[in-house]
Amino acid sequence: MATIIKRSGSFRVQISRKGKRLSATFDTKAQAEIWAYQMEAMILNDENLEQEIIIDENLSVIDIFEKYKNTVSPKKRGFVKERIRIEKLCRDPAFLLPIEKLTNKVMAVWRDKRLTQVQPLTVKRELILISAILNTAIKEWGVNLPYNPVKMIQQPKNPRPRNQRVSEENKLKIVKQLDWDMKTPPTTTSQWVAFAFCLALATAMRRGEICSFTWGDLYLEESYIHLDMTKNGDERNVPLSTKAKSLLKLLIPQQKNVRVVAVTPDVLSSTFRKAKIAVGLENIRFHDARREATTQFAEKLNPLEVAAITGHKDINQLRSTYYNPDASKLAKKLD
């Protein structure tokens, strides 16, 4: 049987059955009874419950962060990066307070302080993560928060979209620094990074997509690459231009389960970063290749066709973030 105790205007329910202990606090006795009935039924049916779930005034915000990191994050494709972000949040003294003391005022103070340390986009990403954690805690774990405080504060403004273009000269400088001749199959890590950069410029594929597709995903005769899982969770087929096919034809075919590009995303990023700095192109990022390719596609295709290639669901984001046309070329179209 569940034990329900009225305390300080709230109702605390405790359950101990079949070696499992659960507890939570609710505003009304009816809420406590419903929750107790549901939890006891799950225990009696031997459904998978954690051995001990204690949700009360002793629970800190960091406890919630840790639980999310250990139980929810591992199910995500971006688990490693999310784990690092959560561990960083757990080291922040601002979150040592009890969960019921996490208010919108606390989050607003944290946001403002964080904005003095990192870029607004980073703060926005962290707030999105914190909000997701709190939503899960409220909806799934019975944490007694009346509302999600992150949703009650203003989000940092989005920075102006990057408008960096990658010229042919830029490409050649970086590729040369990476020691690839663009005529023979890449063999070293640096050469594979150069190949990946050229492929991104020809296809608008993301770094992770380039580093993950296999020979079984490549359909050269049909002129496309099949991506089974992309950043937004959908599959997509990336059409291959003559330039893209020429690059891929330089490679020696392997078994279907072998990745086509023999470099990991992290190694690609670090190697590319060193090469661009070495040639004085610090402002260029690998992701700018996706923007450059998208802009070039937009000169030939309609927005829906471009979105089909890039995988964008939001045409407005595609236009504002990735489409950066040359004003001189647009001027010529006016005459």
- Report yes or no on whether pTM surpasses 0.85: no
Confidence of residue 52 (pLDDT cuts 50, 70, 90): very low
Backbone angles phi, psi at 13, to 5 degrees: -115, 135
For the stretch 302-312, pLDDT in tens is 888 998 899 88
Residue percentage of the chain with pLDDT more than 70: 90
For the stretch 241-255, pLDDT in tens is 999 999 999 999 999
d(CA 16, CA 23): 9
The DSSP-derived string for 172-233 is: HHHHHHTT--SSS---SHHHHHHHHHHHHHHH---HHHHHH-BGGGEETTTTEEEESS-TTS
Q: Which domains does the chain have, with CATH numbers?
A: 1-54 (no CATH), 59-159 (1.10.150.130), 168-334 (1.10.443.10)
Known catalytic residues?
206, 231, 312, 322
For the stretch 273-301, pLDDT in tens is 999 999 999 999 999 999 999 999 988 88
Length of the chain: 335
For the stretch 217-231, pLDDT in tens is 999 999 999 998 777
Which one of 62-66, 98-102, 173-177 scores highest in mean pLDDT? 173-177
Mean pLDDT taken over the chain: 87
Per-residue pLDDT, 13: 78
Q: What is the mean pLDDT of residues 140-150?
A: 85
Q: What share of the chain is helix, strand, coil (3-state, %, to 5)?
A: 50, 10, 35
Which one of 234-238, 260-264, 320-324 scores highest in mean pLDDT? 260-264
The phi-psi region of residue 222 (left if phi > 0; otherwise alpha if psi is between -120 and 50; otherwise beta) is: alpha
Residue located via tokens 């909806």? 139
Instruction: List, as own/partner pairs, every contact residues 271-277 make where C-beta atoms lie below 8 angstroms and the sequence separation is at least 24, other chains included.
Output: 271/178, 271/189, 271/190, 271/193, 272/174, 272/178, 272/193, 272/197, 275/174, 275/177, 275/178, 275/190, 275/193, 276/174, 276/177
CB contact set of 92 (below 8 Å; sequence gap of 6+): 110
324 DSSP assignment: -
Confidence of residue 27 (pLDDT cuts 50, 70, 90): low
Confidence of residue 14 (pLDDT cuts 50, 70, 90): confident
Instruction: Answer for the pair 204, 309: CB distance below 8 angstroms, yes or no.
Output: yes
Which residue has better confidence, 166 or 159? 166
What's the alpha-carbon Rg for the chain, to the nearest Å? Answer: 26
Confidence of residue 54 (pLDDT cuts 50, 70, 90): very low
The DSSP-derived string for 27-70 is: SSHHHHHHHHHHHHHHHHTT----SEEE-STT-BHHHHHHHHHH
